[in-house]
Amino acid sequence: MPDLIVPPLTAPRPVSLGDVLIYLCDPWGYRLAQVVDFESVTIGDALNSVGNFEIVLPYTFDLSLVREGGVVEVWIAPDAGLAPLLECVGFIMRQPVTYTRGGAKFVKIGGPDLDAMLGWRIHTSLTAQSGRADNLIKWYADQNLGAVAGASRSLYNAYGFTVEPDRSYAASVDQESQTRPILDYMSDLTNKAAQTSTGAVKLFWQVVPTQLNPLRVQLRVKRDLWGVDRSLATGSNPVVLYPGRGLSDVVVQADAEGEQTAVYYVYDGGTVGGPVTSNRVNIWPGSRREGVFTYNATAVANTAADAARIELNARKRVYRVQGEVQQVPGRLYGLDYRLGDWMTLAADSDGVTASTVRVDGRTITVQGRAKSVKIKTEYLT
């Protein structure tokens, strides 16, 4: 959860094992108690999706503090002795489950993070909408969860649900309205913003807490970069992982197996055009590998062709540095990089052979004093 550590969200020093703070709150976010004894806690999240948490508690835990819809705050320090950072705010939706392991009894609770709110409401109007894709994402959320949604549907009074002001980052698109969850519209509009032939951008969205105790939230949308550019190529404070420094089992690979060099495009409800081709289309007899791209957002051939060229670039040969991301001093998740950041994976310390990646997801597990972090990355170059 990048860029959320502001004065209203600061935490006291941790007192529980593993430099972890867990607060159990009522359904409005008022803190009821701090969990000082737990078996384990796991946080999972990815960009543009609903995250989740799971907490395993002693069997003797006071379950009167565990309420359906109760808000949970999880703060985790990047390393021992460092101040904890807010890693998850979520809702208890999985009620206490008792289980036995190794002869001992435990209680398990869990649920989704704040992005789950976007799946709680259905948009029922069938009126089509037009506008900048990022602005429409906010519009659908505001209409169904914000102050204008109506008393029975609005989350404004309960959680202060708002959307940030329109930024008009993305191109204008047309969006058909159907009876679907708001999350479906988020996905549609994110895809359209990335596939438009003019001004294609990658959109990232998240419901973030603006206040705790009680909980207040806002939907935010960013373009191209959710976090911070920490890549070697363009970042001002680069994080480079290489063998022995945050990266193990390194493999350098140029992979043309999934490459497509000639892409036909289908537009206007079934018209076929193209193909558009790359400069590798005729370098050897098997280098012409054809694909198809459907782009029914236009009836104009040139516009569809421009969109197909963007897609052709996404299907090009990949040249990647791959490896297992490790947590080492100077390369710590939470301290040196976070979800949504760009960073660099390098084949060696000189960084000549390198790939820029985006931190698309992470899973953090703390059990006792041991912490493990698994990172999911998406290649940008």
Name beta bridge partners: 147.
none
pLDDT class for 294, splitting at 50, 70, 90?
Answer: confident
**According to the model, what pLDDT value does residue 34 have?**
95
Q: State percent of the chain over pLDDT 70.
A: 94
Query: Residue 57 in contact with residue 35, Cβ under 8 Å?
Result: yes
Radius of gyration for the chain, computed over Cα atoms and rounded to the nearest angstrom: 23
- Among 73-87, 128-142, 190-204, the least confident range: 190-204
Query: Residue 283 in contact with residue 257, Cβ under 8 Å?
Result: no
Residue 315 clears pLDDT 90, i.e. is over it: no
pLDDT class for 197, splitting at 50, 70, 90?
Answer: low
The predicted model gives 174-192 an average pLDDT of 93
**According to the model, what pLDDT value does residue 247 have?**
93
Q: Residue 271: CB partners within 8 Å, gap ≥ 6? A: 301
Q: Residue 215: CB partners within 8 Å, gap ≥ 6? A: 25, 28, 29, 71, 89, 159, 160, 209
Q: Can you give the three-state secondary structure of the chain, one letter per residue? A: CCCCCCHHHCCCCCCCHHHEEEEEECCCCCEEEEECCCCEEEEEEECCCCCEEEEEEECCCCHHHCCCCCEEEEEECCCCCCCCEEEEEEECCEEEEEEEECCEEEEEEEEEEHHHHHHCCEECCCCCEEEEHHHHHHHHHHHHHCHHHCCCCCCHHHHCCEECCCCCCCCEEEECCCCEEHHHHHHHHHHHHHHCCCCCCCEEEEEEEEECCCCEEEEEEEECCCCCECCCCCCCCCCEEEECEEEEEEEEEEECCCCCCEEEEEECCCEEEEEEECCCCCCCCCCCCEEEEECCCCCCHHHHHHHHHHHHHHCCCEEEEEEEECCECCECECCCECCCCEEEEECCCCCCCEEEEEEEEEEEEEECCEEEEEEEEEECC
**According to the model, what pLDDT value does residue 353 have?**
87
pLDDT class for 346, splitting at 50, 70, 90?
Answer: very high
How far from chain centre, in Å, is Cα 251?
A: 26
Query: Residue 274 in contact with residue 305, Cβ under 8 Å?
Result: yes
- Among 6-10, 52-56, 372-376, the least confident range: 6-10
pLDDT class for 236, splitting at 50, 70, 90?
Answer: confident
Q: Residue 244: CB partners within 8 Å, gap ≥ 6? A: none
Residue 7 clears pLDDT 50, i.e. is over it: no
**According to the model, what pLDDT value does residue 16 have?**
43
**According to the model, what pLDDT value does residue 182 have?**
96
- Among 25-29, 111-115, 165-169, 246-250, the least confident range: 246-250
Residue 10 clears pLDDT 80, i.e. is over it: no
The predicted model gives 121-140 an average pLDDT of 95
The predicted model gives 137-164 an average pLDDT of 96
Q: Tokens 């008792």 label which residue?
A: 98
Q: Residue 313: CB partners within 8 Å, gap ≥ 6? A: none
Rounded CA separation 237/247 (Å): 18
The predicted model gives 113-118 an average pLDDT of 98
